[in-house]
Chains A and B, each alone.
Chain A
Amino acid sequence: MFGRAKRLDDRSDDELVAIYRERPNPRIWDELCGRYIPILYAWSLNWLKNPQDSEDATMDILLDLPNKVRTYQIESFKNWLFLVCRNHCLQKLKKSSKLRTELIDEIYEINFMENGPDDTLDIEEERLSVMGDAIDQLKPAQKQCLVLFYFQKHSYKEIVEITGIEHSKVKSHIQNGKRNLKNLIENLR
């Protein structure tokens, strides 16, 4: 009758979400944040490839969580959070005009404005996701230069200072990287 209440850290994610939906409690939200900050940050890095943007994305997702948790039906919190993170990051990438106009359009040779169904990624987000995965497969120097230029938005000069690679080689790594990226994506189709 007077059994000891379960500690928060003994409760599963889905239990905590269910309790939170009935009785919003900052301690429950703090517990969930604590559990998911590391993996949210890692997921964000996977798509955004930019540590600062990934910190911001993690924070934005967690701050919006209380509202979303009370709005949506969630079967598995972790799987749902993964999708929330993916959509948030791809939306963020879509807003990067440099990424869109200089990389995506060139790689896919299409200037698209199409949208898909609401509950799935639209075509542009799908392409951003595929391209991000393909970048991970490039040679280290090409990957590094492409990520520093398009995702971390450094200038050529800054890339030279960060990597120690000379200016002409940075340019060729970016050009060769884009060419190889295109081939990788073609092979995935």
Chain B
Amino acid sequence: MSRSELRQAHQDQSWQRDLSTYDEQQQRAIRGLQYHPSGHSLDETWNRIQGRVATQGSSTSTLRPMRRVLSIAAGFAVLVLGVYFLYLNQPVSPQVLSENAFQYLRMENITRLTEETEAVAAPLTLREQAIAAYEDGKKEEAERLIRVHLEDHPKDTEMKFYYGIILLGKGQADSAIPYLKSIEQDQSLQKYERQHQWYLALAYLRLGNVERATPLLESLAGATKPKVYASEARALLKRL
């Protein structure tokens, strides 16, 4: 199966369907994909594996003629210098930094308001459907469900926060900011304090507003406990 077929199978959750038309190898590949974390890009995982293989494989390669090694080293040096002068030496815009640093926050710690039982097949609330869609990587659907949910539950600041993250992920930083900030008024959601600072900083950077982003990043970078987002914040501050 090609990369695009596997990607599509993961997106469509093909393991939930009848796989009898596929051969054993294809069936096992599709069924395996259900265990890949939703919200995590398959391409990123594949690239990471490729990088690890390349790094470790180069140390076990059987071909080591000295001339080849030297020519590769020389080419690499030229490439590094070229990249440095053409790219790294140029300032990177705050918008690009924000885009590159952005990842969707997982919903591991979200407050679940209802319980699932085996005995009763209770219909999922909109909120639960939104959580499921978000966790499955269906951000468009999650956005729609959260928006409808918030119409009836305007005080659900936790869902407002995740809505803000989805908007930021779509590049709508100006629309995202009020939702990301809404969590500041809710003392019961202190658990999101660092996440709130991080995503708000990213939103400001996306708008080019370095002055507002910097104090948030400095607060994250300087914290000793917990250290969530500390190293990411330091990395961004170095580039600003």
Contacts and interface: CB of A to CB of B under 8 A. Distances in A.
Interface of A: 24-26, 29-30, 33-34, 37-39, 41-47, 49-51, 54-55, 58-59, 62-63, 66, 78-79, 82, 136, 139, 141, 147, 161-162, 164-166, 169, 172-173, 176
A29 B57 CA distance: 10
Q: Is the interface of A mostly helix, strand, loop or mixed?
A: helix
A141 B118 contact: yes
Interface residues of B, number: 41
A41 B49 contact: yes
A50 B45 CA distance: 13
A39 B56 contact: no
B109 interface: yes
Contacts of A50: 35
B116 interface: yes
Contact of B35 (A25, A147, A166): A147
Interface string B49-63: 110111011101111
B31 interface: yes
B63 A62 contact: no
Nearest to B7: A38
A147 to B, nearest CB: 7
A152 B7 CA distance: 23
Contacts of A58: 49
B108 A39 contact: no
A78 B26 CA distance: 12
A34 B50 contact: yes
Interface string B9-49: 00000010000000001001111111111001010011011
B108 A63 contact: no
